[in-house]
């Protein structure tokens, strides 16, 4: 029983850290990059370029590109990492 409680607490801690990281990223993104028309890296950078070029909202492109990457992550990196990635994307 003690091992199960430790595992639950470790998992909960991981998800709390992921949540804090996502909120910090979003705060920086919406406070500095988007208002100043700057482009970051990664999937959000690609989504920004698509928005500036076509007018398609960042969120739509972000989710479409992430679907492909999440599927690849599930196969290559495993269900644990893929699940955490899905959680971070949804948050």
pLDDT (tens digit per residue) in 45-58: 898 889 889 999 98
Whether pLDDT at 80 is above 70: yes
pLDDT attached to residue 90: 87
Whether pLDDT at 1 is above 60: no
Give 44's contacts (C-beta < 8 A, 6+ positions apart).
29, 58, 62
Residue reference for tokens 């801690």: 13
pLDDT attached to residue 52: 87
Strand extents, DSSP E, 12-76: none
Give the C-alpha separation, 70 to 62, whole Å.
Answer: 12
Mean pLDDT of the chain: 87
Give the C-alpha separation, 79 to 91, whole Å.
Answer: 18
**pLDDT top residue among 88 and 21:** 21
Mean local confidence (pLDDT), 81-91:
87
């Amino acid at each position: 029983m003690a091992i199960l409680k430790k595992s639950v607490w470790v998992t909960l801690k991981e998800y709390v850290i992921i949540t804090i990281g996502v909120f910090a990223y979003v705060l920086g993104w919406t406070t500095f990059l988007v208002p100043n028309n700057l482009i970051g890296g990664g999937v959000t950078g690609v989504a920004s370029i698509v928005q500036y070029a076509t007018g398609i909202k960042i969120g739509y492109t972000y989710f479409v590109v992430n679907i492909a990457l999440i599927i690849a992550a599930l196969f290559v990196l495993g269900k644990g990492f893929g699940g955490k990635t899905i959680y971070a994307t949804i948050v």
